[in-house]
Protein backbone atom coordinates (compact mmCIF):
# COMPACT_ATOMS: atom_id res chain seq x y z
CA UNK A 1 0.00 0.00 0.00
CA UNK A 2 1.43 3.41 -0.97
CA UNK A 3 1.13 6.35 1.34
CA UNK A 4 0.85 9.91 0.19
CA UNK A 5 3.78 12.14 1.08
CA UNK A 6 3.10 15.58 2.47
CA UNK A 7 5.18 18.73 1.91
CA UNK A 8 7.40 18.07 4.94
CA UNK A 9 8.26 14.59 3.64
CA UNK A 10 9.34 16.07 0.27
CA UNK A 11 11.51 18.69 2.00
CA UNK A 12 13.25 15.98 4.06
CA UNK A 13 13.93 13.91 0.92
CA UNK A 14 15.45 16.92 -0.88
CA UNK A 15 17.58 17.74 2.16
CA UNK A 16 18.92 14.16 2.41
CA UNK A 17 19.72 14.05 -1.32
CA UNK A 18 21.50 17.42 -1.02
CA UNK A 19 23.59 16.16 1.90
CA UNK A 20 24.58 13.06 -0.07
CA UNK A 21 25.90 15.13 -3.01
CA UNK A 22 27.59 17.88 -0.95
CA UNK A 23 30.92 16.07 -0.30
CA UNK A 24 31.25 15.10 -3.96
CA UNK A 25 30.62 18.66 -5.09
CA UNK A 26 33.18 20.01 -2.63
CA UNK A 27 35.81 17.56 -3.90
CA UNK A 28 35.05 18.54 -7.47
CA UNK A 29 35.48 22.22 -6.70
CA UNK A 30 38.82 21.51 -4.99
CA UNK A 31 40.02 19.64 -8.08
CA UNK A 32 38.96 22.59 -10.21
CA UNK A 33 41.56 24.74 -8.40
CA UNK A 34 44.47 22.55 -9.62
CA UNK A 35 45.44 23.22 -13.26
CA UNK A 36 45.19 20.19 -15.54
CA UNK A 37 48.66 20.80 -16.97
CA UNK A 38 51.57 22.59 -15.36
CA UNK A 39 55.36 22.72 -15.61
CA UNK A 40 57.03 20.88 -12.75
CA UNK A 41 60.65 21.35 -13.74
CA UNK A 42 62.92 21.75 -16.75
CA UNK A 43 66.29 20.24 -17.61
CA UNK A 44 68.83 21.97 -19.83
CA UNK A 45 70.18 19.77 -22.63
CA UNK A 46 73.87 20.49 -23.24
CA UNK A 47 75.01 21.36 -26.76
CA UNK A 48 77.34 18.67 -28.12
CA UNK A 49 80.45 19.42 -30.22
CA UNK A 50 78.71 17.81 -33.22
CA UNK A 51 75.98 20.48 -33.18
CA UNK A 52 76.78 22.89 -36.03
CA UNK A 53 73.55 24.90 -35.76
CA UNK A 54 72.71 27.59 -33.20
CA UNK A 55 70.69 26.10 -30.36
CA UNK A 56 68.73 22.92 -29.88
CA UNK A 57 65.42 23.11 -31.68
CA UNK A 58 65.07 19.94 -33.73
CA UNK A 59 63.96 16.75 -32.03
CA UNK A 60 61.62 13.88 -32.76
CA UNK A 61 59.83 11.14 -30.88
CA UNK A 62 60.61 10.58 -27.23
CA UNK A 63 59.78 7.67 -24.97
CA UNK A 64 59.71 6.90 -21.25
CA UNK A 65 60.95 3.49 -20.16
CA UNK A 66 58.37 2.61 -17.50
CA UNK A 67 60.67 0.03 -15.89
CA UNK A 68 63.17 2.62 -14.63
CA UNK A 69 61.66 6.03 -15.52
CA UNK A 70 64.37 6.99 -18.00
CA UNK A 71 63.22 9.48 -20.65
CA UNK A 72 64.79 9.09 -24.11
CA UNK A 73 64.65 12.03 -26.57
CA UNK A 74 65.73 11.84 -30.22
CA UNK A 75 67.87 15.02 -30.42
CA UNK A 76 68.63 15.90 -34.04
CA UNK A 77 70.69 19.04 -33.37
CA UNK A 78 73.13 17.15 -31.15
CA UNK A 79 73.02 14.02 -33.36
CA UNK A 80 72.35 11.98 -30.22
CA UNK A 81 69.69 10.38 -28.06
CA UNK A 82 69.40 12.28 -24.78
CA UNK A 83 68.74 9.98 -21.83
CA UNK A 84 67.31 11.74 -18.77
CA UNK A 85 66.59 10.29 -15.37
CA UNK A 86 65.50 11.92 -12.11
CA UNK A 87 65.37 15.45 -13.51
CA UNK A 88 68.97 15.48 -14.76
CA UNK A 89 70.68 14.45 -17.95
CA UNK A 90 72.27 11.05 -17.68
CA UNK A 91 74.06 10.79 -21.00
CA UNK A 92 73.97 11.50 -24.71
CA UNK A 93 73.93 8.25 -26.66
CA UNK A 94 75.67 8.32 -30.05
CA UNK A 95 76.57 5.58 -32.54
CA UNK A 96 79.97 3.99 -31.87
CA UNK A 97 81.79 0.71 -32.47
CA UNK A 98 82.40 1.58 -36.15
CA UNK A 99 78.86 2.78 -36.94
CA UNK A 100 78.27 6.10 -38.74
CA UNK A 101 76.91 9.03 -36.69
CA UNK A 102 73.24 10.00 -36.69
CA UNK A 103 72.15 12.12 -39.67
CA UNK A 104 71.31 15.16 -37.54
CA UNK A 105 69.68 18.11 -39.30
CA UNK A 106 70.86 18.71 -42.84
CA UNK A 107 69.93 21.25 -45.51
CA UNK A 108 67.28 22.17 -46.18
CA UNK A 109 66.69 22.82 -42.49
CA UNK A 110 63.62 21.02 -41.14
CA UNK A 111 63.75 18.37 -43.86
CA UNK A 112 62.61 15.35 -41.86
CA UNK A 113 63.35 12.99 -44.75
CA UNK A 114 67.09 13.42 -44.19
CA UNK A 115 67.12 14.03 -40.42
CA UNK A 116 67.83 11.81 -37.47
CA UNK A 117 67.76 10.35 -34.95
CA UNK A 118 64.02 9.89 -35.18
CA UNK A 119 62.10 7.35 -33.09
CA UNK A 120 63.39 5.68 -29.93
CA UNK A 121 62.13 2.50 -28.28
CA UNK A 122 63.76 1.16 -25.12
CA UNK A 123 63.32 -2.50 -24.21
CA UNK A 124 65.98 -3.02 -21.55
CA UNK A 125 68.75 -3.92 -22.08
CA UNK A 126 68.26 -2.66 -25.65
CA UNK A 127 67.56 0.76 -27.14
CA UNK A 128 66.34 0.84 -30.74
CA UNK A 129 66.78 4.13 -32.62
CA UNK A 130 65.72 5.00 -36.16
CA UNK A 131 67.76 7.34 -38.33
CA UNK A 132 67.75 8.68 -41.89
CA UNK A 133 67.85 7.11 -44.42
CA UNK A 134 65.68 4.30 -43.04
CA UNK A 135 68.27 2.75 -40.77
CA UNK A 136 67.75 1.26 -37.30
CA UNK A 137 70.50 1.08 -34.69
CA UNK A 138 70.49 -1.15 -31.64
CA UNK A 139 72.32 -0.06 -28.46
CA UNK A 140 73.24 -2.22 -25.47
CA UNK A 141 72.30 -0.12 -22.43
CA UNK A 142 74.25 -2.39 -20.06
CA UNK A 143 77.49 -0.90 -21.39
CA UNK A 144 78.81 2.52 -20.37
CA UNK A 145 78.66 4.30 -22.74
CA UNK A 146 75.88 2.32 -24.45
CA UNK A 147 77.43 0.21 -27.20
CA UNK A 148 76.05 0.14 -30.75
CA UNK A 149 75.66 -3.59 -31.38
CA UNK A 150 73.84 -3.72 -34.70
CA UNK A 151 72.50 -1.67 -37.59
CA UNK A 152 69.88 -2.51 -40.19
Partners of 131 in beta bridges: 135
pLDDT in tens, 14-71: 544 444 555 555 555 555 677 778 887 788 888 888 887 777 677 888 889 888 889 9
Say whether pTM exceeds 0.75.
no
Alpha-carbon distance 125 to 142, whole Å?
Answer: 6
Alpha-carbon distance 139 to 12, whole Å?
Answer: 69
Alpha-carbon distance 122 to 82, whole Å?
Answer: 12
Distances in Å between the alpha carbon of 122 and those of 3, 57, 86, 130? 68, 23, 17, 12
Alpha-carbon distance 104 to 131, whole Å?
Answer: 9
pLDDT for residue 113: 74
Amino acid sequence: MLQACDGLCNKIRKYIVSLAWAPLLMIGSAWAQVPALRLLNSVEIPVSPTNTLPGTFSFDISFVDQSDGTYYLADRNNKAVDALFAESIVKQIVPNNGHAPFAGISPPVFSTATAGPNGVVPAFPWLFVTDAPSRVLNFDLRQNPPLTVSEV
